[in-house]
Structure formats: structure tokens, C-alpha cells
Amino acid sequence: MTKAILGPGVKNNFYSGNTALPGEHFQPVHPDVAQLWQGLEHATPSFGIVINVPVVDMGPENGATQLWPGTHLDTHYFHGDGSARVSDEHLAAWREKRPPIQPTVKRGSVVIRDIRLWHAGMPNRTQQPRPMIAMIHWCGWYADCDSIEIPERSRSFFENKALHTNIKVIPDDQFDHIKHGGAYDVQEEAS
């Protein structure tokens, strides 16, 4: 599906997990990557797609991501801004046009969104963590990022002729499974 959207040469340069822990924490509304250029009259076609796969059922009660439909076409923010947060003024304007949603999604389903779509991590008001797999697929001409480090025993999972995943294979006994344990840097507590 991402190849149909992004064209030939689609590649996976991000494979990780995203877990909403129990609590009242949320993220400010933000795009993962904004428009590529400043001052666009119209948004460009998609160049990056985020794929989330919940491994448990998720909904508003356990912190399903809040999504702002249509905001991937908003040209107020561009990649060079240096700010990932959407202003209160722009949130109010979009809320009038099309309010955000917090979908209910069955485990194993797939949520696909343009990387420019405004979204926010929401509170998980249950006592159980809400994990999901997170991937980012890029069009062939964009984002030659660092490799995804994987343990040797996982190599066959990432070898796929239809989707290139930029991997760096680490010997099993040298792989650090915990190094990516930091929280997203725009996380804030709810008011």
C-alpha cells in the first residue's frame, strides 16, 4: 500500500515501538515532519508515511493517538522551522473546520498516516501499557537516514524485495535492546 502512495523505491528507515504508559501524560499536537518547503500555496504529494500496528486493542481509554484529519495539507509549518509544536491559533482554526479524532483500533490492524499529519500522544487512563509497532516508509528520493540497528537473528524478518529496510546487522551478543528507551521530547503533563 505504501508503494502505491509513494511510488517505486519506497524504503523503511524506521522500525520501533511506541508505548503509552498508564498516566495523564500527553504530547503537544505536532507533525513528525512538516512541509518540505516554506511558503507553499499547496502541499506537495506525500513523501513519508507512518505505519502503526497496535499489539493490543486501542482507543481513547488507553491512549490511542489523537489525529487531525486533513492537516497534512496545511502549509503553515515547514521542515526548516525547527519547531514541532502546532500553535494554539492554528489548532483552534482547524478544530472549527474538522475536529481531531481518537480512533478505536483492533490489535493487529494498521493505521497509516501521512508524516505531516498533526497528531498527539494522549493519556492512557487504564492500568495496562498500550504498545504499538511504529514504522516510517519514505519515497525513494527522500530520507537516506541512519540504518536501523537489528540483531543478527532478526535479519530475515527485514529482508524483503518489495520494501527495502535500511538495516545495520549487529551480532546478537552485542545488540543493546534498551538504548532507545527515551521519551519523546515534546511530552508534557496534562493541565
Give the three-state DSSP class for 10.
coil
Residue 140 has pLDDT above 60, yes or no: yes
Strands 48-54 and 130-138: antiparallel
Beta-strand pair 148-151/167-170:
parallel
Dump pLDDT digits (tens) for 39-83.
999 999 999 999 999 999 999 999 999 999 999 999 999 887 766
Burial of 48 (C-beta count, 10 Å sphere; 0-12/13-18/19+): buried
pTM of the complete model beyond 0.75? yes
Q: What is the pLDDT of residue 82?
A: 65
Distance CA 100, CA 61 (A): 16
In the predicted structure, residue 148 carries a pLDDT above the cut 70: yes
Report the mean per-residue pLDDT for the chain. Answer: 88
Could you read off the pLDDT of 74-115 as tens digits, one per residue?
A: 999 988 776 678 999 999 999 999 999 999 999 999 999 999
pLDDT on residue 132: 96
Better-scored residue on pLDDT, 184 or 3: 3
DSSP-assigned beta bridge partners for residue 165 = 12
pLDDT winner (highest mean) among 125-139, 145-159, 172-186: 125-139
